[in-house]
Structure 1
Amino acid sequence: MGVGRVNMRRTRRPRDAKATAARLADVLRSALGAVLLITTSCAAAPPAQIRGGARLELLGEAIPSSIDELFTLFGVDKVSADFVVVVDTSGSMSQGPTPPYPAVLKAFLSLVESIPDGDNLSVLTFDGSPNLSFQGKISDKSRNKAKDALPATATGEGTDIGSALDATLRRLERADSADVQTVIFLTDGQHVPAPGSAFPTTSGPEWDQLRVRADQARRGHDTQVLGIGLGEQGAGGIELLRQVFGNPEINSLPPDQLADFFRESVRRSQLARLATLVDKELANPVTVESKGSMPLEPTMDVDVVVHSNLKKLPVDLSVSGVTATNADGDQIDAELIGAKKSQIGPGGSETVNVRIEPPVKNPGFKVPPVTEQAKFTIQLNATYQVLPKDLLARVSGTATSGEVQGQHSVDAIRTYGRSVREILTLLAMVLLTLLVLAWLYRRFLQLPKLVGVFVVDSAAAPEKSVIQLKGKHHRITAKDVPGAGGAKIELFTRRGKPKRVFARVDTPPFFEVEDRRRERVVPEETEIRVNRYRLGGGRMKYWPKEPERTSDSNDHPR
């Protein structure tokens, strides 16, 4: 979460009580207005649309809005740079009605003061030969020493610009040189080398070699070369920088503008450092690198994860469409589900919902089971814009927008059909269920059939001595039992009581039950058991099954 800086200063307490009350009222009104503004903004832009590793604040406070905020975000003050200051100290710098050297001394002090701690400073003075007067990292201890790097007056003889450029390249060629380098070269005259100089003229192989070395030294570095011509002579020698560095920035300034120019040079160095960091940040892509497995179905909802590899800056994501193909490269139906625009925080991710409809056929019934596998590739038609767009364009020439790279792969699988064991198990369960249902029906719902026989005493014929009970209802009258007269009984069964017989009589005592003690029982409804019974004047005995007959008698044992 970005946190804005708050600068707090101690002020004297106002003596006027009315002024204090008025100021307090203004503060309260401002606070109330801020609360209302935040509340309204929350209703207009729900935080759920902003996702990522670093949560972005509403109203855009977390998105940098100035160059200084970018400095803080990228930690520019922690990135060191090189400054190489080359000053002509020949006698001409102190001559004339308005000599430039005193202004150079004064401006140099402001330059040293404005260079951040940790930056490396090299100070070269030259006349007929170069001299390294200071070399080291700027700190509280070394800063005062660096301010004394220039002599109090310029009294040298000659102006060997070639040797000064050679010494400058040696500072840039250091093994520990920084990525960002700034060269500030000041002179007021022409190239006037001393006798025996390695650069006796303004051209030749020695100058060509300087150009080769300059190209090599600048390779892999962001090097700014600033040449300043001083004095009223036009400082034509400053143009020699073009022979070595190709495209230096040449300026002709009055001495009183040097201080501002030096401070601006430090600012430009910071911007160059920021540009280097921003370029590295913008080199990080926004990609789709997700994959997943899911069941193969006619309609599949897939979560495609878009990841931002940027570590400092948020991006706006815009998805315009989607394309899906199978393993053979054939396109299948696909559509976006949900929002098409969102914002991703630094290092964060956004899930894009995609619905695909592969041509999945109905497998039908298969024995044994069959496993089907498929692979699909989803390509988002999406672009991203790194924020803040306009501010980054002022810092770097690198593109701040691009296309989302990468694809989402889906491994789909389904197994259909039944094994032989499953089929047999299913059939066994069905059969068992039917048996249980049949038993329950016969046990609790179906009326059981009558069982047993009545053996009639004194039957008119042997074949009429046994009354076989059949069906679920049976009526016995005088036709079946001699001597029964008008008596009759109805035999029946009850649900849930198989192999049990019940009798109902119309009017007792026409049906009597004789127990073993010869006691008469005359219920209106009774259960028939193994016993002798009297129906009117006739007698008979109930047996659960027909007993075997003897050859000499129709009577049966009791």
Structure 2
Amino acid sequence: MHIGRSVIARWTGAAVAAAIAVTMTGGPVIAAPDGQASLDEVYAALGVDDVPSDYVVMVDVSRSMAGDRYEQLKKSLTGFFAALAPEDTVTLIPFAEGTKADTRPVGRSPGELVAMLPRDADGSYTDIGAALEAAVATLGRPDAPSLATVVLLTDGQHAPGPRSAYPLTEGHNWVKLADRAKKLRKTSLDAYAVPLAGATGAGLLTKVFPGARVLETTSVDRLTTSLAGPKAAARAAKARSLLAAEIDRPVEVTWPDEEIGAGGTVLDVQLRSPMAHVPLVLDRMTVTSGNAALTSTVPDGRVTLPPGGTVTVPVAVTWDAGPRAFAPLKTVRDRATLRLSAEVGSPWSTVLTDDLKLALPTELPPQAPELSLSAQRGSLWYWVSTALLLLCAMLLALHWRRRRLSPMLTGSVRIDGAGAEPRLLPLSGRRSQLSADVTGLPGSGDITAIRPAVSTTEVNLLITYSPDGSAARRETAICRAGETVSVTGTSFTWQTTVPAQRITRSTTSRVKR
């Protein structure tokens, strides 16, 4: 390196900060649209700072970096390290004629990381190849995080010492080193070269890391702004690593396995988010069916689906199974294919699309569950109702007929038995019992009123009597109004009216005795 070149480099690259702000993911956070989360809010929800990342920073410490440039570089690196998460790991590789890598966790003292650099920049050579070899070795260590960012800071061309394995800018060792870098197992590996002068060997970074970005030349006092790009890209890489396994997975739609009947039915359709981090919002939900006789609706409004959560959407379906048949039993069967559609969005959509370059599935996945339709369209209930009405009418008719054939008792019966005082028995109700208390005779029996036919108005008495109360001597006779019949030697006379004086005398004479 030549000292004169460092003086020129101190004033180059004044406009690089604006270019970096446009091309890199970092920079000030823009206010999110209504309902949309900001980038910092998404990072906080993801816990980005809890995901460890590997930072490998190669720092040119040749003489051209001496003085204010070197002090300003260390100041910029202090600010860069202060913005990293404590769980991140930093490897500083100062290089001149040789290298010395030192790896430490960021922790909470960024100044201690910068202290790993040499006190002064006084190297005689600038061996960029050796620095890149040390970076590849550091990235390949067994405990290295899967997310890594490589930064090369130099103000000079590749100028190795006489014992360097990389005397030129090409050759076998460069090819071998690039092959080693290609075999690194990293989820994400970003590399950035930051030239601190107009003509440097920063571009050699692309020989080992083909995807590396060579930023525009920047003065060392603008280095903090330039380093914001790699830092922001590293945080975005962390976020993408957390979302990579879930971002393209569609919402799971589960239809109930149940049979749909005629009329209205509510089907509880379950929606499950396969995403462990991203909140989802389903809007403009509709249900379509291939069956013209089936209509379906879903509730209006948005459905919020939390990460990994499940919500139930009530789908109301109405099936017109056709008119009822005259036959008591008739089953109508059909099939219907339903599909739930919705616009899938997220409060994170703006960040995912613009900042992380990730795309959500915007629609529900195709689903076409074929549901069974079954309805009883026979007139069984009409038949049952008619039968019940006929049965009730029949019972009422039988009841009326029984009442008609067995009318109420009226009048009185005069009872005359051998050796006994005549007695007058008033009749009431539908049956009068004959007992010793009533007849004054030792036997028993009963008296009922009967009609010979439903249509006639004639009423007779049916008298059953046994002189000793036994069934063997029981006899029955029919007595017409005003007539007398004899049953087992006892006379019964039906009087259609009850003479009050006769009843009184009979009762009085019985009392005197």
- How many angstroms does 1:72 deviate by? 1.6
Distance in 2 (CA, whole Å) between partners of 1:519 and 1:348 is 92
Q: Deviations over 1:173-215 (max 9, x none)?
A: 3343334322121111111112232212112333233333334
The structure showing larger relative contact order (alpha-carbon pairs under 8 Å, at least 6 residues apart) is: 2
Task: Determine the structure 1 residue equivalent to 2:40.
Answer: 68
Please tell me whether the aligned partners of residues 287 and 406 of structure 1 are also in contact (alpha carbons under 8 angstroms).
no
Question: Which residue of the partner structure matches residue 310 of structure 2?
Answer: 348
2:175 corresponds to 1:208 = yes
CA distance in 1, matches of 2:354, 2:122: 44
1:335 & 1:429 partners in 2: Cα distance? 37
Q: Please name the residue that 1:160 is paired with.
A: 127
* Contact kept? 2:286, 2:341, Cα under 8 Å: yes
Q: CA deviation at 1:65?
A: 3.1
Contact 2:248 2:359 in 1 (8 A): no
Identify if the C-alpha distance between structure 1 residues 313 and 417 changes in structure 2 by more than 3 Å, giving closer, same or farther.
closer
Alignment correspondent of 1:86 = 58
Q: Are 1:440 and 2:399 an aligned pair?
A: yes
- Structure 2 length as normaliser, TM-score? 0.65
Deviation digits for residues 271-312 of structure 1 (CA, Å, limit 9, x no counterpart): 332343345453332231233212444765544333333343
Q: What does the per-residue CA deviation read over 1:225-255, in whole Å, with 9 as the maximum and x for residues that have no partner?
A: 2212224xx2421121222323413232212
Q: Deviations over 1:143-170 (max 9, x none)?
A: 5642321010012221111121121122
**Residue among 236, 244, 255 paired with 2:200:** 236
The CA distance in 2 between the partners of 1:321 and 1:500, in whole Å, is 86
| Matching residue within 276, 288, 294 for 2:253 | 288
Task: Decide which of 390, 412, 418 is 2:372's aligned counterpart.
Answer: 412
Query: Could you tell me how far apart the structure 1 residues matched to 2:269 and 2:351 are?
Result: 31
2: CA distance, partners of 1:146 / 1:349: 49
C-alpha separation in 1, matches of 2:37 and 2:258? 43
SS in structure 2 of the partner of residue 184 of structure 1: strand
Paired amino acid for 1:72: A
**Residue by residue, what CA displacement relative to the aligned partner does 1:446-480 show, whole Å, maximum 9, x if unpaired?**
56799xxxxxxxxxxxxxxxxxx9546989xxxxx
Percent of aligned positions that are identical: 24
Q: What is the count of residue pairs matched by the alignment?
A: 405
- C-alpha spacing 1:445/1:283, structure 2 compared with 1 (3 Å): farther
Pairwise CA RMSD: 4.5
- Among 505, 524, 545, the alignment partner of 2:497 is 524
Q: Report SS of the residue matched to 1:156.
A: coil
SS at 1:252 equivalent: coil
Q: Which letter maps to 2:194? A: I
Letter in structure 2 aligned against 1:381: S
Q: Distance in 1 between matches of 2:116 and 2:145?
A: 21
Aligned in 2, Cα 1:338/1:263: closer, same or farther, shift over 3 Å? Answer: closer
**Residue 189 of structure 2 aligns with which residue?**
223
Q: Which residue of 2 aligns with 1:180?
A: 147
> Match for residue 189 of structure 1?
156
Q: Secondary structure at the match of 2:100?
A: strand
1:365: how far off?
4.8
Confirm or deny: 8 A CA contact 2:289 2:295 kept in the other structure.
no
Q: Deviations over 1:345-378 (max 9, x none)?
A: 31232415152648779687589xx988765432
Pairing 1:136-151 to 2, within 5 Å after superposition: 136-140=104-108, 145-151=112-118
8 Å CA contact 1:275–1:395 kept in 2: the answer is: no
345, 353, 356: which one aligns with 1:396: 356
Q: What is the correspondence of 1:237-276 to structure 2 with a 5 Å cutoff?
A: 237-246=201-210, 247-262=212-227, 265-276=230-241
In structure 2, do the counterparts of structure 1 residues 352 and 318 end up closer, same or farther at CA, with 3 Å as the change threshold?
Answer: farther
- Contact 2:261–2:375 (8 Å) recurs in 1: no
- 1:111 is matched with 80
| C-alpha contact 2:285 2:300 (8 A) present in aligned 1 | yes
Which one of 281, 305, 309 corresponds to residue 316 of structure 1?
A: 281
Question: Which AA in structure 2 matches 1:244?
Answer: V
Gaps of 5+ in 1: 1-59, 326-330, 419-424, 451-468, 476-489, 506-510, 527-558
Shift of 1:405: 0.8
5+ residue gaps in structure 2? 1-31, 379-383, 410-450, 463-475, 500-513
* Alpha-carbon separation, structure 1, partners of 2:168 and 2:404: 128
Q: 1:500 to 1:365 in 2, by over 3 A?
A: farther
In structure 2, the partner of 1:306 is 271
CA distance in structure 1 between the aligned counterparts of 2:401 and 2:134, rounded to whole angstroms: 116
Residue identity in the other structure for 2:341: N
